[in-house]
């Protein structure tokens, strides 16, 4: 069974005229992003085509044929389960776990294998930063597809605004680093890289895709232990004489 985890992200809305200033998403010309999500998200995701989200399908899980979202107006939380479908553009055999690995089903090209993920959106009142919580199953994540879908949703419903997300870092992690400084690796993740950096480090430029840069704190290569260095020099001096 795959290991399942939850990932937490911040999200904010920005005016297309001012990409540096976050707006209060609970009062956008009298409209509230929470109300818009609660009333329109189901139909939007169900109607979204794979050509809009990296060749994948995405829709809200249904009960007895009806898509279902849960909401809490007091806490301003919207949650549910989405199913992300991936075609892979090829036929794919599914086998049993027996010794002979018998094929029990063959997925045809153009058929989407769907994987479920839990999600939660929290949009506090009169704030400029909300939270998106997404389930991750092993190496499988819905983050790229779900965030892209939300960005399209905001652009469609509020054409003068755009949605941006960023990784959430808990205060305790930052405080621990400031106090102890005991982290030996830092990972930086970006969904896009500038073209010049892509050309320099990645070769052929790819606009989409997630790239991770890791900074490892290591002892410099080639540095010789001080005591060993002293012994080597002493031996060399003895040979020269």
pLDDT tens digits, residue range 29-70? 899 999 999 999 999 988 887 778 777 878 788 777 777 889
| Arithmetic mean of pLDDT, 101-122 | 71
pLDDT of residue 151: 95
pLDDT, tens digit (0-9, with 9 covering 90-100), for 170-210: 656 556 665 666 555 555 555 555 555 555 555 554 555 55
Supply 232's token pair: 């080597």
Please report the pLDDT score of residue 51 as a whole number. Answer: 78
Question: What are residue 8's DSSP bridge partners?
Answer: 133
- pLDDT of residue 162 exceeding 90, the answer is yes
Q: How far apart are CA 210 and CA 148, in angstroms?
A: 13
Residues forming a β-bridge with 22:
14
Strands 185-190 and 62-63: unpaired
> Of all helices (H) and strands (E), which one includes residue 1?
none
pLDDT value, residue 40 = 94
Task: Specify which of 9-18, 100-109, 225-234 reaches the highest per-range mean pLDDT.
Answer: 9-18
Contacts of 157 (CB under 8 A, 6+ apart): 36, 40
- Of 57, 54, 59, the C-alpha closest to 69 is 59
Which of left, alpha, beta for 111 (phi over 0: left; psi -120 to 50: alpha)? beta
């Amino acid at each position: 069974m795959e290991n399942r985890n939850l990932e937490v992200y911040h999200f904010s809305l920005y005016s297309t005229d001012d990409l540096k200033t976050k707006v209060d998403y609970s009062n956008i010309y009298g409209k509230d992003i929470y109300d818009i999500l609660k009333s329109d998200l189901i139909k939007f995701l169900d109607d979204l085509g794979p050509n809009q989200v990296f060749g994948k399908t995405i829709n809200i899980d249904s009960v007895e044929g009806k898509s279902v979202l849960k909401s809490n107006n007091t806490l301003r939380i919207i949650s549910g389960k989405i199913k992300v479908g991936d075609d892979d553009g090829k036929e794919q055999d599914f086998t049993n776990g027996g010794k002979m690995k018998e094929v029990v089903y063959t997925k045809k090209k153009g058929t989407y294998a769907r994987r479920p993920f839990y999600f939660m959106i929290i949009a506090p009142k009169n704030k400029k930063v909300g939270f998106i919580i997404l389930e991750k199953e092993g190496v499988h994540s819905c983050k790229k597809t779900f965030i892209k879908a939300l960005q399209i949703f905001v652009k469609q419903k509020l054409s003068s605004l755009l949605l941006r997300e960023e990784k959430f870092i808990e205060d305790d992690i930052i405080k621990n680093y400031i106090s102890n400084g005991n982290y030996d690796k830092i990972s930086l993740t970006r969904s896009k890289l500038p073209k010049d950096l892509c050309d320099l480090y990645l070769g052929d430029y790819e606009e989409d895709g997630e790239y991770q840069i890791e900074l490892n704190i290591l002892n410099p290569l080639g540095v010789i232990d001080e005591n060993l260095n002293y012994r080597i020099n002493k031996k060399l001096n003895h040979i020269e004489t």
